[in-house]
Chain A
Amino acid sequence: MPDTLAQPMRFGSSSGQPVTRRDGIAKVTGDADYAADHSPSGMLHAVYAPAAIARGRVTAMNTVAAEAHPGVVRVITPANRPALQGDPADKSVMFTFRIEVLQDDTVRYAGQPVALVLAETLEAATEGARLLDPQYAVEVPRVTLADAESEPVAGQGFGQPADTTHGDVDAGHAAAARSVDVTYTTAAQYHNAMEPHAIVAQWEGDHLSLDVPTQAFALSCAGYARYFGIPAENVTIRCPYLGGGFGSKAIPAGPLVLAVLAARDVGRPVKLALTRKQMFGPVGHRGATEQRLRIGADGEGRLSVIDHDNVAETSTFDDFVEPAANASQGLYAAGALRSRHRAVRLDVGTPGPMRAPGEASGSAALECAMDELAEASGIDPLEFRLRNYAETEPGTGRPYSSKALRDCYLQGAERFGWSGRPSAPGTMRDASGLLTGWGMGTALFPAPMFAAQARATLKADGTALVETSAADMGQGAWTALAQIAADSLGLPLDAVEFRAGHSSLPDGGVAGGSGHTATAGGALHAAGLDVVRQLGEIAAADPESPLHGAGNAQFVARDGRLFVEGDEGRSDALADILVRAGGAPLTGTGRGARAPEAAAAHAMYSHGAVFAEVKVDPDLGQIRVSRLVGAFAAGRIINPKLAESQLFGGMIWGVSFALHEEAKFDRRTGRIMNADFAGYHVPVNADVPGLEVIMVHEDDPHVNPLGVKGVGEIGIVGTVGAIGNAIRHATGRRVRRFPIRIEGMLG
């Protein structure tokens, strides 16, 4: 068996084209419907009362006042909560965390639901929840990494990173001619998709119908089914659009499960939508980290060791430890590598995967430490990284499925103008006297595949219907997946109707891990090829077809016609073949997944290099990232316009991480004091005036038949470090705490 996958150079007319998103008009005109837009008749509004303390117990609630409020229909507390069939701590469905669904009166984090109020109007439910005025027995909360001792990571699995060692770490330290031993901290960040979590739940007997944003239809159905003791087939989820997910909308969250429970209890549809403030608690976040990096290099600037210790928060009742130290393991050719993780249990909601989990935080620290060592060694940061370029995966020695990182470095540096960079920090000023600095960082993100299924149906009129339950989080799945499907059938894009966003469709897998286009796209591609194969058999057997007798040939579909591969002279129209065969639609199915042997044989990553220019006011300390150039190699790019948007989005998130995002905890109460968009900053347009993405060509013959990696998360990686390094270069100040703010530039 050849070790490369058969891959056409060109899929057809759609892939590779910068097709404008097909759902764009619907979105900007408000036609696109999101979960909370639904209001079935008879519906009640649910609002939960969030805990105002982070640790302790609820001792009393004024349920009488809440129930007496006009419009309030029911108040659910731990004392009268209807039974849930499944265990809230059950984690058998992948990616699931233990949820808080009023199972007891213990408060484990601020913002945890302590009661649910159902009312005829949103206003009445909101006021009912306020009137509950919970009283607490308070214990001293622990909300920052300094508030509790660290402990080993419990178990192994999702969010429980194992320690790794490759080579002789002690020897690596001993061999270092130069080394740095630095500790970086990153702040807790909270997912804040434009669309807060929301659900509209309706029961009909033991059938549950949901409008709810989900990044993973099948997993969500399985999750709800488990909690409510019904078969997964009884759960229907409609979700044509998500207003962003970022890792927080893969599985049922506690407040959403409560709404479903309430709907069953009252026998009416129930809507629950989190407020912006409620997004800071029960629906996951990126945990704070404290990372110590000890890295050393020999006299020539070749890394002898990367020794990365990460301490990250998790909750008191579940485990998700940001796998930050893993980010330093697959990247540079160091003689020895070690990653170690420890956890600190805090009175916070359980952290979870948030866009580029592990890599974003880990790379922030690693890329800054790399610059510190480059500077100590007197080597240009780019040259230092090139000297440590890994030709095979560090540690394992596995070949890369493809790695155009060198091209990323060179093309990015060229476009940015890196060669003009003075090595001494604090020496560049612009025309208006602002300190100017240049920094860079390497980006790395795995190219995983999950499992997905799809169906393609060719009709006798020459059009096709393709289906998978894939989720469009705004990344453009409605468009890019349709492009893949069209090409796999050899049809123009507008001859293909693409159905997605509904749980009754074939399982589209998970929109996450930057693997959705590869996985769901792979399934669609396979389904299309299945149709083509069947059609070829029909044509070859049909005496009236020009393809008659080409029984053992390979067929390819292009421009609505079926060709014998390598013989342009013989072809037949897809529609004609079907019409002659009686006109019945022809259906094919496909699966997208990676065989375990293939996964083991190669190291599979997307790569990139990010170059940042920052301006800092020398007196006033205000910081702005004036320019970001990111060059990324991520295999085949299905839709360059959408991919560029994804990469822009990631880089903007990198600015956010480096300069803005931070949940500020009051250590006395454990509450987050900036839980809104006026206080929890993300960049605005004026913060990202100069973004540029270069998509570096990369053919990957191993990663999957489409040659597709992922672009969803990698944009953050590298950007954070590049900005930290640029600030150092501008000001001479090395700030080892993210986000970096004005305060850090003064005094």
Chain B
Amino acid sequence: MKSFDFVQPRTVAEALAAWGPGAVWLGGGTSLIDLMKLGVAQPDVVIDLGRVAGMRSVDVQGDGAVRIGALVSNADLTRDAAFAARFPMVAEALLSGASGQLRNAATVAGNLMQHTRCAYFQDAGAACNRRDPGAGCDAQGGVGGGVAVLGASPACIAVNPSDFCVPLAALDAVVEVQGPEGGREIAMADFHLLPGDTPDRVTALAPGELIVALRLPAGADGFAGHSRYLKVRDRTSFAFATASAAAGLRMEHGRIAEARLALGAVAAKPWRVAEAEAVLIGQTPDADLFDRAATIAMAGAEPGDDLAWKIDLARKTAVRALCLAAAGTPARMPALPASVFAEPAGEKVHA
């Protein structure tokens, strides 16, 4: 691979100072290093965040919000029992992603920023507008699979592959950022961008900005009793989603007081539609109702060449996730998290 400078700052300030054009942040490296080996990422400077102090804890704040340091590993977050109890669908989504080894290395910021798995993005020899604006998009008319049915543009049809981000979007998580211009917060809904005419702009981060933490706002744990992540995939484990959904319900007297629904693997960002959640409010849970909501969520989906099955699958995945959420969060994490093959739901919490 191309030679690069390797910097190991100790503080956020040092990290920000080390940044310049051609530099990249390095978290666990599970996404970035692969791309460097493939010749797809060719940084001049790699800024290793591994030694930066103060970004490895999970803290409950005064108002009940939970702040997760950017360097907390995916594995550590899932092992935090208090966190999993408050945000079970986040833990379930994380556990359904990648493998144990990868989760040990991967950081939460890296997960938010992980690159698309589009085969043509990963192939340095292919034309890709995301890598090289204006070059074209070889994914169109390519091997198919894993492409967007919502929010795509003629410039790019890639999907965001993250599981973690789907429940984060559903729960209105906030990304805390520090940059050359100071700090700011970005709502998860605004964090990942649809491709439009600028497919190379994947997130709202400006050059040189660094994710320092991720926050689940106060009240987001109100869904803990009824929340699930469901992930349909080509293998029982260790596969990216073909379709996924995070569903959270806040129940009052048998009716839905508040609802959250986000879909994964269908667009360049987790897909959340306010109207789909709104139709659920005040209703008693049932499959037809959920089907209406899921249909609204998928409105405008484009089947492309032959993806009608994927639209149908995404809708049904959302319906199933809502049904599972309505049935109640299992007291224990299923042995196969987020899988359709989890054992029949047992004891419930908050039943």
CA A624 to CA B336, docked complex, whole Å: 13
B238 sits at the interface (CB 8 A):
yes
30 of the cross-chain contacts (CB-CB < 8 Å) are A52-B125, A123-B1, A127-B1, A127-B2, A130-B39, A275-B37, A277-B38, A432-B344, A615-B341, A617-B340, A619-B316, A620-B232, A620-B243, A620-B317, A622-B341, A624-B341, A659-B234, A665-B143, A668-B141, A668-B142, A671-B123, A671-B125, A673-B120, A673-B142, A673-B143, A686-B235, A686-B237, A686-B336, A687-B235, A742-B242
Known: A126-B1, A620-B232. A673 touches B119 (CB 8 A): yes
> Which of A75-83, A634-642, A677-685 forms part of the interface with chain B?
A677-685
Q: Inside 8 A of B240's CB, which chain A residues have their CB?
A: 678
Tell which of B1, B120, B143, B235 touches A683, judged by Cβ atoms closer than 8 Å: B235
| Nearest CB in chain A: distance from B220 CB, A | 27
Is B313 interfacial (CB 8 A cutoff)?
Answer: yes
Cβ–Cβ contact B3 & A123, under 8 A: yes
- Chain B neighbourhood of A123, CB < 8 A: 1, 3
Check: B239 CB closer than 8 A to any chain A CB: yes
Distance in Å from the Cβ of B179 to the closest Cβ of chain A?
Answer: 31
Interface SS of chain A: loop
Contact with A along B223-241 (1 / 0, CB 8 A): 0000000001111111110
- By a CB distance below 8 angstroms, the chain B residues around A468 are none
Task: Assess the A669–B125 pair: CB atoms within 8 A.
Answer: yes
Give bound CA distance, A123 to B6, whole Å: 15
Q: Which residues of A contact B233 (CB under 8 A)?
A: 622
Task: Decide if B320 touches A619 in the complex (CB within 8 Å).
Answer: yes
In Å, the complex CA distance between A431 and B344 comes to: 7
Our pick among B123, B308, B344 for the contact of A673 (Cβ within 8 Å) is B123
User: Which residues of A lie under 8 Å from residue B3 when comparing CB positions?
Assistant: 70, 123, 127
Contact of A342 with B by CB under 8 A: no
Contacts from B to A (Cβ < 8 Å):
1-3, 37-39, 117, 119-120, 123, 125-126, 138, 141-143, 145, 232-240, 242-243, 308-309, 312-313, 316-317, 319-320, 336, 340-341, 343-344
Chain A contacts with B in 55-74, Cβ cutoff 8 A = 70
Number of A-B contacts (CB under 8 A): 98
Q: Is A168 an interface residue (CB 8 A)?
A: no
A561 within 8 A of B: no
Among B39, B141, B235, B320, chain A packs the most CB atoms within 10 A around the CB of B235
Q: Does A355 lie at the interface of the complex (its beta carbon under 8 Å from any beta carbon of B)?
A: no
Cβ contacts under 8 Å, B319 to chain A: 619
- Which A593-621 residues have a C-beta within 8 angstroms of B? 615, 617, 619-621
A695 vs B296: C-alpha distance in the bound complex, in angstroms? 55
Interface centre among B142, B233, B319 (most CB of A within 10 A): B142
Tally chain A residues at the interface, Cβ within 8 Å. 41
Residue interface mask A731-747, B partner, CB < 8 A = 1: 00000000001110011
Given the contacts A684-B237, A686-B237, A664 and B143 also touching, CB distance less than 8 Å: yes
Closest chain A CB from B327 CB (angstroms):
12
Tell me the nearest residue of chain A to B306, going by C-beta.
A743
Query: CA A746 – CA B3 in complex, angstroms?
Result: 48
**Shortest Cβ gap from A521 to chain B (Å):** 37
Task: State whether the Cβ of A565 lies closer than 8 Å to any Cβ in chain B.
Answer: no
**Bound CA–CA A130/B40 (angstroms):** 11
With CB as the reference atom, state the residue of chain B lying closest to A431: B344
Q: Is the CB of B237 within 8 A of A687?
A: yes
Closest Cβ of chain B to A127, distance in Å, is 6
Residues of chain A lying within 8 A (CB to CB) of residue B309: 743, 746-747
Bound together, the chains give a CA A683 to CA B138 distance in angstroms of 29
B314 CB to closest chain A CB (Å) equals 10
Q: Would A742 and B236 be within 8 Å (CB), given that A130-B39, A622-B341 are in contact? A: no
From A277, which residue of chain B is reached at the shortest CB distance? B38
Quote the shortest CB–CB distance from B199 to chain A (angstroms). Answer: 19
State how many angstroms separate the Cβ of A539 from the closest Cβ of chain B.
59
Q: How far is the CA of A685 from the CA of B119 in the complex (A)?
A: 25
Q: Is A660 an interface residue (CB 8 A)?
A: yes
Residue A388 at the B interface, CB < 8 A?
Answer: no
CA distance A747 to B39 in the complex (A): 39
Residue among A70, A620, A669, A685 facing the most chain B CB atoms (10 A cut-off): A620
Q: A127 CA to B243 CA in the complex, in Å?
A: 37
Residue A666 CB within 8 A of the other chain: yes
Task: Assess whether A545 is interfacial by the CB under 8 Å rule.
Answer: no
A392 beta carbon closer than 8 Å to chain B: no
- Which of A620, A659, A685 is the one whose CB lies under 8 Å from B320? A620
Which residue on A lies nearest to B239, using beta carbons?
A681
User: Smallest distance from the beta carbon of B321 to chain A beta carbons, Å?
Assistant: 10
A674 within 8 A of B: yes
User: Closest 3 CB pairs between A and B?
Assistant: A686-B236, A686-B237, A673-B119
Contact A624 B236 (CB under 8 A): yes
A681 touching B235, Cβ below 8 Å: yes
Q: Do residues B125 and A678 form an inter-chain contact, with CB atoms below 8 A?
A: no
List residues of A (647-677) whose CB comes within 8 Å of B's CBs: 659-660, 664-666, 668-669, 671, 673-674
Point out the residue from B37, B143, B232, B341 that lies within 8 Å of A666, measured CB to CB. B143
Given the complex, which residues of B lie within 8 Å of A678, measured CB to CB? 117, 240
**Bound form: Cα–Cα A218–B239 in Å:** 41
Whose C-beta in chain A lies nearest to the C-beta of B307? A743
Task: State whether A674 and B39 are in contact (beta carbons under 8 Å apart), knowing that A52-B125, A127-B3, A617-B340 are contacts in the complex.
Answer: no
| Residues of A with C-beta under 8 A to B143 | 664-666, 673-674
Q: How far is the CB of B230 from chain A (nearest CB, A)?
A: 8
**Residues in B whose Cβ lies below 8 Å from that of A432:** 343-344
Task: Give the residue of B37, B126, B234, B320 whose beta carbon is less than 8 angstroms from that of A742.
Answer: B234
* Nearest CB in chain A to that of B144: its residue: A664
Chain B residues within an 8 Å CB radius of A52? 125
Q: How far is the CA of A673 from the CA of B143 in the complex (A)?
A: 7
Residues in A with CB closer than 8 Å to B313 are 620-621, 742, 746
Q: How far, in angstroms, from A41 to B316 measured CA to CA in the complex?
A: 60
The minimal Cβ–Cβ distance linking B172 to chain A, given in whole angstroms, is: 27
A619 and B317 CA atoms in complex are apart in Å by 8
Cβ–Cβ < 8 Å partners of B235 in chain A: 660, 681, 683-684, 686-687
